[in-house]
Amino acid sequence: MAQFSVHGCSMSGQENQFEKVSSSPNVSEPQCLSVHDPSRKLPQLSLRNQEILERLRSEVMIVDGAIGTSLYTHGFSYRACFDELNETHPEVVEDLHRDYIAAGAQIIETNTFGANSFKLGDHGFAEKTRLLNRLGAQIAKRAAGEAIYVAGSIGPLDRVLEPIGPVTLQQAHDAFREQVTGLLEGGVDLFIVETISNLFEMREAIAAIRELSDLPIVATMTFTEDGKTLVGDKPAQVRRALIEYGADVVGANCSIGPQPMLDVMERMGGSEVPLCAQPNAGSARVIGGRHLFLASPQYFADYAVKFADAGVALIGGCCGTTPDHVRAMALAVKGRAPGKSHVQVNGEISEEEGRIEGPHRGLPFSDFRENLGKRFQISVEIDPPRSYDPGPFIRHAQRLKAAGVDLINVADSPLARARMSAVAMAHLIRRDAGVDVLLHVSCRDRNAIGLQSELLGAHTLGVLNILAVTGDPTNVGDYPFAKGVFELDSIGLSRMVTQLNRGKDLTGRDLDDPTHFLLGVAVNPTSPKLDLEYDRFKQKLDAGAQFAFTQPLFDPRTLDEFMNRISSFTNIPIFVGIMPLRSSKHAEFIHNEIPDMFVPQDIRTRMSGAGTEGAKVGVEISQKFLLDTQEMVQGAYLMPPFNKFDMAIDVMKVLSREPASS
């Protein structure tokens, strides 16, 4: 189960015993480790291990709920390393296991969801990988006794794998192998590989287990509310792939609640192996500064019966579920056998539809996307450098992330001043600072062909959050003699992004695969032509906009009027633009020389009287504006002037925030 997901490197150095698939260096699919080889002679399953699979074929069994959520309610921050508690607070972990057993769990998972060398390395515990896994298994075994089965929990590495990211499949395999070794030393009865969104990553995890053990494997992927994985794989495709890799039980966990997961399980169908479902307790809500999940135990009990009727044999919970949820589910399905699994989507899915074609890219989606509209998020703009050295700006991004920033906005040569490629800068910030990025894509410098090429290149680099903007005209910048293109405007660009997401180019021709962009647009509530601005905003919505960022505002009343007006035709998340003023000179320049921007007279007067304390007063003004408006919108878009990123960090201090997750 995911430990707490508001969905959280030393290698083992052991020789891999698998042969690599031969591959030409020119082939885009990375070399992949082979999966389970039936000819290998591993120790036979014990009667106890065989019993697990036999029971799942004839009765519905209950696995426990979330570990991380429960630890969070015990006072441990979800930014903490929960796996390290196996060493520092084993009694707390063991008590939690006992609570789930008392509630009716027949299988409990070890507190090792994030106990791989990559994630442990983020906390400085990479060298304890094997130890923490062994301790996690031993703690669970003490709580379980002989009557309860212990599953070794293996979660995602939280790293981008090749060909997009820097982590090779061999490195991923070695990390999983090290974790499996510790769990086996602790005496687990089976494995649950969970919350995986990339089939390449799942394949390496299963291969690492099969290299060392023939214990039963439960393999569960994450799905979105549209019934597909984050990269578009359908449930039936996933089922076939997981069985091919060597899983004994397949299914879904995390990301979604019981209702959409039931649809996934019905679409997954099949009778080759048992099915497993572990949904979240709905979506997380921030109430009183705490992350809470609102789906009730009774709601879970109702859906446990529906899961059983749909053929699910192993039922549990993920984020937000507690012993109370498990108790309700256990009582609801007691004595039931799993029904016949079936597919309710236009009849049986054909073999052709179920086949996985071509390289599976496995692009990870971001925390920004996951939390959009669910909690208040902060974005800070960083302009690319006017040179080829991104180092200082990446360090700024790292500082901003540490301060709690959720997203870095990478502008595309704003004010028509030549800078480093925004795509390159966004990719480097995402890769080297480990923080989500929003790429501004401008229509000024590229025709339709160039824009599509730019977008496809960004997608390949894993830059999937896009802000479509028309762009500043060249006559305001350093190169007034340059010719602007403007073949498309931001509305046309938005249509292009939406078309790409549908698997088609702007002309309607099919692409090999659809893209997975999250599309944002800009809107200006202080435009002197407000009727035209609202009309264009509606066109952007019709073109597929999923969220919007405003121009910098200084008067909460302006935002309130804007939000009231758009409430009649949209409810997409809105991020309010906030620009801390640095001096009286800066305030007057913004008001008098930047088109369509307005600084109220009382603020300009206050800045005029600030003297040498201008930056401090500017931050105070922005802090008050942020507090006055945070209940109106879903996020803030901070634009610190002149690369004064300390001002953005100071503005944020009025909000109670923890550092953004990796």
Same domain, 95 and 154: yes
153 in any annotated domain: yes
pLDDT digits (tens, 9 = 90+) for 128-152: 999 999 999 999 999 999 999 999 9
Q: Which residue segment(s) compose the domain that 98 sits in?
A: 47-345
Please report the pLDDT score of residue 341 as a whole number: 58
Same domain, 314 and 410: no
Q: Model pTM? A: 0.51
Question: Measuring CA to CA, which residue among 93, 86, 130, 119 is closest to residue 108?
Answer: 93
Q: How many domains does the chain have?
A: 2
Q: Has residue 41 got a pLDDT over 80?
A: no
13 in any annotated domain: no
Judged by average pLDDT, the poorest of 11-25, 427-441, 489-503 is: 11-25
Q: Has residue 291 got a pLDDT over 70?
A: no
In sequence order, which residues have a C-beta less than 8 Å from that of residue 604 and are 6 or more positions away?
A: 584, 587, 588, 591
Please report the pLDDT score of residue 455 as a whole number: 93
Same domain, 322 and 422: no
**Average of per-residue pLDDT across 304-319:** 94
Say if strands 290-293 and 284-287 run parallel, antiparallel, or are unpaired.
Answer: antiparallel
In sequence order, which residues have a C-beta less than 8 Å from that of residue 296 and are 6 or more positions away?
A: none
pLDDT digits (tens, 9 = 90+) for 333-373: 999 999 875 444 333 333 333 333 333 344 444 678 889 99
Please report the pLDDT score of residue 299 as a whole number: 86
Please report the pLDDT score of residue 46 as a whole number: 66
Contact in structure between 587 and 603 (CB atoms under 8 Å): yes
Distance CA 377, CA 379 (A): 7
428 in any annotated domain: yes
Q: Has residue 660 got a pLDDT over 50?
A: no
**Average of per-residue pLDDT across 388-394:** 85
Same domain, 490 and 555: yes
pLDDT digits (tens, 9 = 90+) for 237-281: 999 999 999 999 999 998 888 888 999 999 998 778 999 999 988
Distance CA 276, CA 355 (A): 22
Q: Has residue 292 got a pLDDT over 60?
A: no
Q: Domain holding 179: CATH number?
A: 3.20.20.330
Residue with tokens 């979660």: 155
User: How do the residues of the chain divide into helix, strand and coil, expressed in percent and rounded to 5?
Assistant: 40, 15, 45
Spell 496-527 as b/e; 16+ CB within 10 A means b.
bbbbbbeeebbeeeeeebebbbbbbbbbbbbb
Same domain, 341 and 385: no
Question: Measuring CA to CA, which residue among 212, 321, 341, 213 is closest to residue 276?
Answer: 341
Same domain, 153 and 233: yes
Distance CA 613, CA 482 (A): 40
Please report the pLDDT score of residue 302 as a whole number: 92
445 in any annotated domain: yes
Please report the pLDDT score of residue 643 as a whole number: 85
- Which of these three, 311, 345, 379, is where a domain ends? 345
pLDDT digits (tens, 9 = 90+) for 590-612: 888 777 788 999 999 999 999 99
Q: What is the mean pLDDT of the chain?
A: 83
**Average of per-residue pLDDT across 473-501:** 75
**Average of per-residue pLDDT across 318-340:** 92
Please report the pLDDT score of residue 575 as a whole number: 97
Same domain, 323 and 465: no
Same domain, 373 and 321: no
Q: Domain holding 427: CATH number?
A: 3.20.20.220
29 in any annotated domain: no
250 in any annotated domain: yes
pLDDT digits (tens, 9 = 90+) for 630-639: 999 999 999 9
Which amino acid appears at position 296 of this protein?
A: S
232 in any annotated domain: yes
Same domain, 298 and 416: no
Please report the pLDDT score of residue 557 as a whole number: 95
In sequence order, which residues have a C-beta less than 8 Å from that of residue 66 and are 6 or more positions away?
A: 1, 2, 3, 4, 281, 317, 318, 319, 320, 321, 322
**Average of per-residue pLDDT across 540-552:** 95
Q: How confident is the model at residue 296 (pLDDT cuts 50, 70, 90)?
A: confident
pLDDT digits (tens, 9 = 90+) for 50-91: 899 999 999 999 999 988 877 877 777 767 899 999 999 999
pLDDT exceeding 70 applies to what percent of the chain?
A: 82
Q: Has residue 13 got a pLDDT over 60?
A: no
Please report the pLDDT score of residue 383 as a whole number: 86
Same domain, 132 and 96: yes
Please report the pLDDT score of residue 591 as a whole number: 84
Same domain, 153 and 222: yes
